[in-house]
Amino acid sequence: MQNRRLGKSAIVVSEICMGTMTFGSFADEATSLRILDRAFDAGINFFDTAEGYPVPPAPHYAGRTEEIFGKWLKSKNRDAVVLATKVSGPSHIWFSSPLRASRTALDRHNITRAIEGSLKRLNVDYIDLYQTHWQDPEIAHDETLQVLDELIAAGKVRVIGSSNDNAWGLMKSLATAEKLGVARYQTIQNNFSLNNRRFEDELANICRREGVSLIPYSPIGGGVLSGKYCRDEKPDARFTRYVEMGGRQAEMAARYRNSKSLASTTRFMDIAAEAGMSPVTMAVAWSKQHDFVASTIVGATREDQLDEIFAAADLELSADVLAAIDQVSADIMYPMG
């Protein structure tokens, strides 16, 4: 397992990060703990969670994922684990958070309450990477960054990062941090996969020029790039359940699983087969094979999903495979919109 630096910080992490957003919902505690053990034994030292996990968001179990991770971490050397978590963004922008009576925001009050809650659930005295889960474009970055900088000064956080941000938001935050003389975002966590390459349009160039690392989530396109939705119209999987739930979850399922994304996935499966690997392995390898990526966040709800993911650890895709992938992306542009 290779290691890479988070932005311009002193923190170096494994190039694969274990995500945890289904721990406590689709994956029970026992399964979650086994997955964490398998990831750690495979050389992964970077783990990502959030105060609002697991998904789908619900008040009755919000925070459960951090509790499970905290239980697992008790058996490990804290210094051997790079822990990332997130403070929820504003409930009135993207979706209504299950936390704090759905009155979450990126102000001093909410960030202070969020970090104290996460530290308690995780049973730690510091977070390595603390991220704003989603952004509020209607407020200034000043208060958010000042509070986060104070958390670093207090020793509760080592570095900070953004998530689900756009090019304007990232550049505005960097400029604000420079103006105020406070800590800057070292990372950005956005959706990035074979089926969603929009990050390359503008944000990739910002990351290169400003020294910010992408830690992409959903490299397997929410499981779509495994091909399971191509083989079975209704597999026992997350987006099948999301469609049945309706509302925002059904809308999310439609974004990930649609005629264009299934058509591109079918072609990616053919490329992977010709190259002698699974489409999951190819998708993860492709994600981490970018100069602006520090670590690719993967997820699993079952142990048997891990082997294909871990097979990408030391894999570098050939120029021919990359060219074939680029041709699919040119023929079927922006499958996820």
Residues acting as catalytic residues = 53
Which of 91, 69, 90 has the alpha carbon at shortest distance from 81? Answer: 69
Which of 219, 253, 217, 252 has the alpha carbon at shortest distance from 235? Answer: 253
Asked if 280 and 226 touch (Cβ cutoff 8 Å), the reply is yes
Q: Compute the distance between CA of residue 193 and CA of residue 269 in angstroms, rounded to an integer.
A: 14
* Both tokens assigned to 34: 């086994």
Look at residue 179 and give its three-state secondary structure.
helix
CA-CA-CA-CA torsion sign (87, 91, 94, 99): positive
Reported as type and span, the H/E element at residue 4 is: strand 3-5
Asked if 232 and 300 touch (Cβ cutoff 8 Å), the reply is no
